[in-house]
Amino acid sequence: MLHGDQSLSKVNALMRRIMNGKAIMGLVRPAVLKAYQWQIMGLDTSYLEISDMYHYDQEPKVLSVNSIKDIPTFYFSCSGDHQTTSSCSICLQDWEEGQVGRKLERCGHTFHMKCIDEWFLRQVKRERESEMTWSVFRSINSPTLDLSAALRSTRSPLFAAGAGCATLAGVSLFRMSSRSPPFASLSVSASASEKKEVVATEKAPAALGPYSQAIKANNLVFVSGVLGLIPETGKFVSDNVEDQTEQILKNMGEILKASGVDYSSVVKTTIMLADLGDFKKVNEIYAKYFPAPSPARSTYQVAALPLNAKIEIECIATL
């Protein structure tokens, strides 16, 4: 226990070291420097012994549980010359006499056998789960994604940053030096059934700008906002919100019909009102057109609508 002036002096000295960071940096700086040196050492190696742990003779390319046996083992001895690092490249703990480890011959990094083996088992499990996910994804009737090369180029890094086998932008260095650049073979293709198809009918008002009355895509029909205009004249049926609502739903019905569906196929509508106070009137008319189960719906009051309309409605339907 410290007493008197001596106690205060030592406490003050400690507080100054903490405040100016010297106490902390004295512990952190050596570890950071060591991690940096390991990464620099690793940049000049090809890591062939790591890439060989992947199975390249079949698709998909995944890690093998037995591949860990390809990494040589050794018993640490203070008098030996086989180790090039003084600590495990995963846990960063110093080696102790007689400990069993594994070593990457080309880059010289060493690992406690427990550290590398536990990491490797987790990695194999992650690889298999990833391949299973992509297999399910590819079996779904959706645009074809050729991601095999991308997956090969973006494998998880073998070791954490500071262990020499670092990663850059998600691509491990030993894979960057291999046969193809990241995502070089990434391609997306869509079948003809999933391309956009324009829907147009003269029985509904023509578009007022650079848009389509509706678009068919991905087994859905996206109907643009519809106004209460008479198709033949392009004029509003009246200035009355009820009349405009009725005309809108008639126009929408014609667009849906031209798309090969009807009101029962609608899954979502959006109503835009110049005055939300008209909602009750609109709702009574709206309810007559959509059979149960009613589609999902959003209703908004907006600052203004095209041609000073009282109401505009858009919808999405399934094919």
State residue 190's pLDDT score: 46
State residue 33's pLDDT score: 59
Q: What is the pTM of this model?
A: 0.43
Q: Which of 275, 282, 247, 252 is nearest to 264 (CA)?
A: 252
All domains of the chain, ordered by start, with CATH?
48-189 (3.30.40.10), 193-318 (3.30.1330.40)
Q: Which of 283, 276, 273 is nearest to 246 (CA)?
A: 283
What is the DSSP code (8-state) at residue 156?
P
State residue 26's pLDDT score: 60
Task: Give the separation between CA 262 and CA 266, rounded to whole angstroms.
Answer: 7
Task: Give the separation between CA 165 and CA 42, rounded to whole angstroms.
Answer: 6
Task: Give the separation between CA 55 and CA 124, rounded to whole angstroms.
Answer: 12
What is the DSSP code (8-state) at residue 204?
S
Are 49 and 104 in contact by the 8 Å Cβ rule? The answer is yes
State residue 91's pLDDT score: 80
Instruction: Give the torsion sign (CA, 55, 60, 66, 68).
Output: positive
Are 244 and 216 in contact by the 8 Å Cβ rule? The answer is no
Residues of the chain with pLDDT under 50: 1-2, 42-61, 83, 142, 144-193
Residues 6+ apart with CB under 8 A from 125: none
Are 109 and 38 in contact by the 8 Å Cβ rule? The answer is yes
State residue 261's pLDDT score: 95
What is the side-by-side order of every strand in the sheet holding 214-217? 197-199, 214-217, 220-226, 311-318, 266-273, 296-301
